[in-house]
Homo-oligomer: A and B are copies of this chain.
Amino acid sequence: MARTQGSHSGITGPRVRDAALKLFAQHGYAAVSMRQIAREVGVQAGALYNYTPDKQSLLFDLMQTHMTELLAACADMPDGGPPIEALENFTSLHLRFHSERPEEVFIAYMELRNLTPENFTKIEALRRSYEDGLETILRSGVSSGDFEVSDPKIATMAVIAMLTGVNTWFREGGRLSLEEVEQIYWDMVRKAVGA
């Protein structure tokens, strides 16, 4: 099957996405130019516009894909078990999912203000949906008497902030394995909610 020389449809697209992911995470959306992204991919700047209508869409797609995959992973969790198991599953999922995608996570938290208002609203809704998942677990644990939480909404924010903070220091091959980190954090989360 002959191909037009220089044609890389289906391969250059993902490379543009990967380059944007890497560079946005490293230097920040506003500090990265389309020319930098093109250089990373190995094409000229003009060629990028075959794969994205503009720079903003590049950012939005990265964030939307990330949040959608996170919510899909949540939906795959077993449910129906006792609240303490649901909370342990949530903790484990959050730590694993986030540690596997440090660049996506970094962008999702740091570049919210560089989204257009319309795009911000969409991403914010996805994030809120994720938080609601944890809040539901905490409320069910309070109802069943398994948890001692005075304010489930605050506890939700506190637990997510604590878990997401792992990304600021955790590196594979460091002092602790991910499994050890999971154990330590689950211990703190469990105690913090009085379980």
A positions within 8 Å CB-CB of B: 26-28, 30-31, 110, 113-114, 150-151, 154-155, 157-162, 164-166, 168-169, 176, 181, 184-185, 187-189, 191-194
Closest beta carbon of chain B to A153's beta carbon, Å: 8
Enumerate chain B residues within 8 angstroms of A166, measured Cβ to Cβ: 157, 161
Main secondary structure of the interface of A (DSSP, over half): helix
Residue of B110, B113, B162, B191 near A161 (CB, 8 A) is B162
Residue of B114, B155, B185 near A158 (CB, 8 A) is B185
Cα(A181)–Cα(B114), bound, Å: 29
B158 A188 Cβ-Cβ under 8 A? yes
Query: Given A161-B161, A165-B160, do A155 and B31 touch, yes or no (CB 8 Å)?
Result: no
In the complex, residue of chain B having the shortest beta-carbon distance to the beta carbon of A31: B30
A154 B28 Cβ-Cβ under 8 A? no
B154 A165 Cβ-Cβ under 8 A? no
Enumerate chain B residues within 8 angstroms of A194, measured Cβ to Cβ: 191
Cα(A191)–Cα(B158), bound, Å: 13
Closest beta carbon of chain B to A37's beta carbon, Å: 15
Closest beta carbon of chain B to A137's beta carbon, Å: 16
Cα(A26)–Cα(B151), bound, Å: 30
In the complex, residue of chain B having the shortest beta-carbon distance to the beta carbon of A153: B175
3 A-B pairs closest in CB distance: A161-B165, A30-B30, A30-B31
B157 A169 Cβ-Cβ under 8 A? yes
Residue contacts A-B, CB under 8 angstroms, 26 given: A26-B113, A27-B30, A27-B113, A28-B28, A28-B113, A30-B30, A31-B114, A110-B110, A151-B176, A154-B181, A155-B184, A155-B188, A157-B165, A157-B169, A158-B165, A158-B185, A159-B162, A160-B165, A161-B165, A188-B192, A188-B193, A191-B191, A191-B192, A191-B193, A191-B194, A192-B192
